[in-house]
Amino acid sequence: MMVERLANAIEQAKQDGGCAFVPYIMAGDGGLGRLEEDVRFLQEAGATAVELGIPFSDPAADGPVIQQAGIRALEAGTTLGKVIETVRGFGEDIRIPVILMTYLNPVLSHGLAGFANDCREAGIAGVIVPDVPFEESQILEDTLRMVDVALIRLAPLSAPADRLRKIADAAEGFIYAVTVDGITGARDSFGASADERLSRLKDIAGVPVLAGFGISSPAHVREFGQAADGVIVGSAIVDALHRGDRAFISELIGSAKTAAVPAK
């Protein structure tokens, strides 16, 4: 089962003495022809899973780096359907779970039931839809659950405790803990209470908690890897891939292997 496979991959990263590391990349940035190669590189570098962004013309949650990547992908003709078909064609050597991050409009244009079935057939483990509020997500959750695809919940750490509990109770796969208010993009610092809020969320969550938004350096990975079960890194990965700096990506992913060990 794909949801169980995702949870097991995160748990294995923790058992290995570090934390989970999920890189985000924009599918189609540089052309869909290189997507499998990029995912294979991330897998070989030690990624726990990979999050594939679907380019969209009005990306409300995306910062400038990911917006520009989305524009390049759209100009290359990338669509949701083409991304799913590309993932379906991945070779058997791609073993890490694949997660899609898309906005609702492409899903509705594709057709909700068809989207869910296509995700199942492509072996996609989870879906993130940042512009669907928790309170309006039931039909999406129910449709994906029927095909064993997790609807990954976003949980802003600034949300009231009662809302975080509702999100935690409904969560599948893992909870995506949003560490900052605002859009994606590298940050130099985070709120002083971020670690404390992550700890509280972990206490009420029945699934792993992964921290994301703004994490862009090995120091950030180690910091949040001690407070959460793993990290999601987007803008820094997208920028490095665009520049061809695979060494930096390998360094980032490698830093997760010791993230659970408190820094001296």
Neighbours of 241 (CB within 10 A): 22
pLDDT at 185: 46
CA distance 143 to 114: 10
Catalytic residue, candidates 29, 62, 223, 229: 62
Domain boundaries, the chain: 2-258
Positive or negative: CA dihedral 166, 204, 258, 16: negative
Average pLDDT of every residue of the chain: 91
For 55, which DSSP code?
Answer: P
Is the pLDDT at 120 greater than 80, yes or no?
Answer: yes
Residue 196 annotated among the catalytic residues of the structure:
no
CA distance 104 to 79: 13
pLDDT at 194: 76
How far, in whole angstroms, is CA 116 from its chain's centroid? 18
pLDDT at 158: 84
Burial 174-213 (b: 16+ CB within 10 A, else e): bbbbbbbeebbbbbeebeeebbebbeebbeebebbbbbbb
Is the pLDDT at 10 greater than 90, yes or no?
Answer: yes
Strands (E), 141-241: 150-151, 153-156, 175-178, 209-212, 230-233
CA distance 249 to 88: 25
Sort 95 into a burial class: Cβ within 10 Å, 0-12 / 13-18 / 19+. Answer: exposed
Residue 203 annotated among the catalytic residues of the structure:
no
Using alpha carbons only, how large is the chain's radius of gyration in Å? Answer: 17
pLDDT by residue (tens digit) across 11-68?
Answer: 999 999 999 999 999 999 999 999 999 999 999 999 999 999 999 988 877 889 999 9
**What's the full length of the chain, in residues?**
264
- pTM, rounded to two decimals: 0.93
Catalytic residue, candidates 29, 51, 229, 239: 51
pLDDT by residue (tens digit) across 124-168?
Answer: 999 999 999 999 999 999 999 999 999 999 998 888 999 999 999
Q: Which CATH superfamily is domain 2-258 in?
A: Aldolase class I (3.20.20.70)
DSSP notation for 140-153: HHHHHHTTT-EEPE
Residue 163 token pair: 């809302």
